[in-house]
Amino acid sequence: MDRVEPVKEPSYNVLGTPIRPCSLQPKTGWFRDGCCNTDARDHGSHTICCRVTDDFLQFLRSQGNDLITPAPQHGFPGLRAGDQWCVCAGSWKQAYDEGRACPVVLESTHKKALEIASLDELLEHAIASEA
C-alpha cells in the first residue's frame, strides 16, 4: 500500500489573503519555509506568527516549552525577544488567557489558528511584520 502524505493546508492568513512570510532569520514554520503553513501532522498548530517578548518566552518556558535554549540537532537557534516565530496556537492562547501574550503579525498568521484563538483576540495584539 502506498503511503499518502498529508496535504498542506491552503496558505491563507486570518484576514483571508495569501499568507506572508513570518521569519526567514531565524527560518520558522512547521515546514521551515519561513511561513506559518501547516498540515495534518502539525498537532501543535504552529500557525501564529509572533514577535516574541521576554515575558512570553519565560511564560512558555515555565509551562515546559523552552523556546530560548538552542537545539542545533533540530536546526533550532533559540529565540530572543524581537524574533518572529510561528508558535503553537494553543501556547499563544494559553499566554493570552494569562495576560502574557506577545504581538501577532496577522498577515503571516495561518487561518487555521482561528480554530484555537479568535480573530478578536489576535487583533488585540496585532502588529506590522518586519520579515
DSSP string, 57-126: HHHHHHTT---SS-BGGGTB----TT-EEEEEHHHHHHHHHTT----EEGGGSBGGGGGTS-HHHHHHTE
Q: Which band of pLDDT confidence, cut at 50, 70 and 90, is reported for residue 100?
A: very high
SS3 of residue 55 by DSSP: helix
**Number of independent structural domains in the chain:** 1
Question: Would residue 42 count as lying in a domain?
Answer: yes
Dist CA 60 CA 11 (whole Å):
27
Question: Would residue 3 count as lying in a domain?
Answer: no
- CATH code, domain carrying 115: 3.30.56.110
What is the sign, positive or negative, of the torsion defined by CA atoms of 6, 89, 87, 85? positive
Assigned C-alpha cell, 61: 518556558
**Which amino acid is located at 35 in the chain?**
C
> What is the end-to-end Cα distance of the chain in Å, rounded?
42
Question: Would residue 57 count as lying in a domain?
Answer: yes
Write the CB contacts of 122 (distance below 8 Å, at least 6 apart in sequence): 14, 48, 104, 106, 109, 113
Query: Where in the sequence is the domain holding 55, given as residue range(s)?
Result: 11-131
Assigned C-alpha cell, 35: 511561513
User: What is the model's pLDDT at position 21?
Assistant: 96
Percentage of the residues of the chain whose pLDDT score is greater than 70: 94
Dist CA 57 CA 18 (whole Å):
28
pLDDT over threshold 80, residue 44: yes
User: What is the model's pLDDT at position 8?
Assistant: 81
pLDDT in tens, 14-24: 999 999 999 99
Q: Which band of pLDDT confidence, cut at 50, 70 and 90, is reported for residue 75?
A: confident
pLDDT over threshold 90, residue 87: yes
User: What is the model's pLDDT at position 5?
Assistant: 63
User: What is the model's pLDDT at position 93?
Assistant: 98
pLDDT over threshold 70, residue 3: no
- Among 6-20, 53-67, 95-109, whose mean pLDDT is lowest? 6-20
User: What is the model's pLDDT at position 52?
Assistant: 97
